[in-house]
């Protein structure tokens, strides 16, 4: 058993590095189990074998890395937000996106109530909602802001992984029935109009050194400003300030520099490995109940989207991509959009990137509603 913080940091970094490298080689395994989950599970298993000791030095290293990486990661991810492209998507896609967002909030509250979960379990579903309205980065942001334990974040990750896999397969399988669905809903598809909207991906030069330096400065700024404000949790303030600064940054020349997403994803994998190294599952027999509850949330969300499609005469492409942009994020929404038509990939990207902004606020709002229950 190692007591050195540098061994701990090296181990965490190695786990993240190996999984990222394997995932980039596009092994089919990662089509069923996302790299993020593999990082978490590997780090957790290594911790269970007590490779490192949870002494004060290792704990301090964990807290230092987590507190500094989180705001830096959020800032970098939000640099890709493009409101102009988002608004230009048009009525059908905007209604679809916000309907998916709102229906997920309602579904979390209803299922949480029907299953009779306790207030102690609200952190699991609030954290999960951050992911299903944004992405893993939002999950960690919501979990940190709410001081959710590493074990509960682990539950949320497992629920997310299991249900997400089946949700992607279901939505891809529905592509073939789009014409019949559109006739039923009365939608008039206009994919050609959508294809004029470009991808929100950055196309500028890669200046990693600049992005890393700015993100670290932002992390320092967030924590400094938060230390002068009382009445709200320090971590919550840091998350909110980083989100606000990231949104401002998306309006500057920083948004034109390519590489922000690569650096943010590296930070994300490190953060997930850190959290996995501290996870301690309790009451593992309730995991299936949580997974079943996650399935119920998705079913209720799907029914809501079908009703919205009928009322507003929306096509299957719009509601399906909007749903997956929330639940799956940038990793899968563009793939689903491309399954309908290759030129529509940009729509999936734009919707998914907006989740970086809305996901954190949505997760915090769900937490507030669940605690009211």
344, 324 in Cβ contact below 8 A? Answer: no
Domain that holds residue 337: 82-259+282-372
In a domain, residue 21? The reply is no
Instruction: Give the residue carrying structure tokens 């980083």.
Output: 242
Instruction: Check residue 360 and give its pLDDT.
Output: 93
Say whether pLDDT at 176 is over 60.
yes
34 pLDDT band (50/70/90 cuts)?
confident
Count structural domains, the chain: 1
Could you give the C-alpha distances from 237 to 121, 144, 197, 221, 231, in angstroms and in order?
A: 23, 11, 35, 12, 10
pLDDT of residue 38: 86
Q: Which residue has the higher pLDDT, 30 or 134?
A: 134
Q: How confident is the model at residue 287 (pLDDT cuts 50, 70, 90)?
A: confident
Q: State the pLDDT at residue 87.
A: 87
pLDDT tens digits, one per residue of 122-137: 999 999 999 999 988 8
pLDDT of residue 151: 84
Residue at 147 is within a domain: yes
Residues 6 or more apart in contact with residue 291 via CB below 8 angstroms: 158, 159, 162, 163
353 domain residue, yes or no: yes
pLDDT value of residue 196: 47
CB 357 within 8 A of CB 100: no
Query: If you average pLDDT over every residue of the chain, what do you get?
Result: 87
Which residue is it, tokens 């939000």? 78
Whether the pLDDT of residue 199 is over 60: the answer is no
Q: What tens digit of pLDDT does each residue of 340-365 get?
A: 887 788 888 889 999 998 999 999 99
User: How many residues does this entry show for the chain?
Assistant: 373
Mean pLDDT lowest among 29-33, 143-147, 331-335: 29-33
Q: Mean pLDDT throughout 140-156?
A: 90
Give yes or no for residue 44 having a pLDDT over 80: yes
Q: What is the pTM of this model?
A: 0.87
**pLDDT at position 225:** 94
**Residues forming beta bridges with residue 2, ordered by sequence position:** 52
pLDDT at 341: 83
CB atoms within 10 A of CB 282: 9
- Asked if 345 and 196 touch (Cβ cutoff 8 Å), the reply is no
């Amino acid at each position: 058993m190692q007591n050195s913080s540098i061994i701990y940091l090296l181990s965490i970094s190695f786990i993240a590095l190996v999984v990222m490298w394997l995932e980039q080689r596009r092994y089919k395994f990662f089509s069923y189990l996302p790299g993020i989950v593999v990082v978490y599970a590997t780090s957790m298993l290594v911790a269970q074998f007590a490779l490192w000791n949870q002494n004060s030095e290792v704990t301090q290293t964990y807290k230092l890395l987590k507190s500094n990486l989180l705001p830096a990661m959020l800032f970098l991810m939000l640099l890709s937000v493009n409101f102009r492209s988002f608004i230009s998507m048009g009525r059908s896609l905007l209604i679809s996106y916000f309907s998916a967002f709102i229906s997920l909030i309602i579904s979390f509250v209803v299922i949480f109530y029907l299953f009779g979960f306790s207030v102690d379990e609200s952190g699991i579903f609030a954290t999960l909602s951050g992911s299903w309205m944004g992405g893993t980065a939002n999950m960690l942001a919501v979990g940190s802001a709410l001081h959710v334990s590493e074990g509960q974040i682990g539950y949320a990750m497992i629920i997310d992984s299991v249900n997400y896999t089946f949700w992607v397969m279901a939505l891809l399988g529905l592509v073939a029935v789009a014409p019949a669905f559109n006739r039923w809903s009365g939608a008039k598809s206009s994919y050609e109009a959508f294809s004029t909207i470009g991808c929100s991906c950055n196309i500028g030069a890669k200046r990693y050194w600049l992005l890393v330096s700015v993100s670290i400065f932002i992390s320092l700024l967030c924590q400094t400003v938060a230390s002068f404000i009382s009445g709200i949790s320090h971590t919550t303030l840091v998350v909110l300030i980083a989100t606000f600064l990231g949104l401002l940054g998306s309006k500057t020349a920083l948004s034109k520099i390519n590489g922000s997403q690569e650096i943010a994803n590296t930070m994300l994998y490190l953060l997930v490995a850190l959290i996995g190294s501290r996870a301690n599952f309790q009451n593992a027999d309730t995991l299936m109940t949580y997974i079943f509850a996650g399935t119920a949330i998705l079913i209720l969300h799907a029914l809501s989207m079908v009703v919205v499609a009928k009322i507003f005469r929306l096509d299957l492409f719009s509601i399906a991509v909007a749903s997956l942009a929330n639940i799956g994020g940038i990793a899968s929404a563009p793939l689903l959009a491309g399954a309908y038509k290759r030129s529509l990939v940009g729509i999936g990207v734009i919707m998914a990137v907006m989740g970086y902004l809305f996901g954190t606020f949505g997760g915090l709002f769900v937490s507030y509603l669940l605690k009211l229950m």
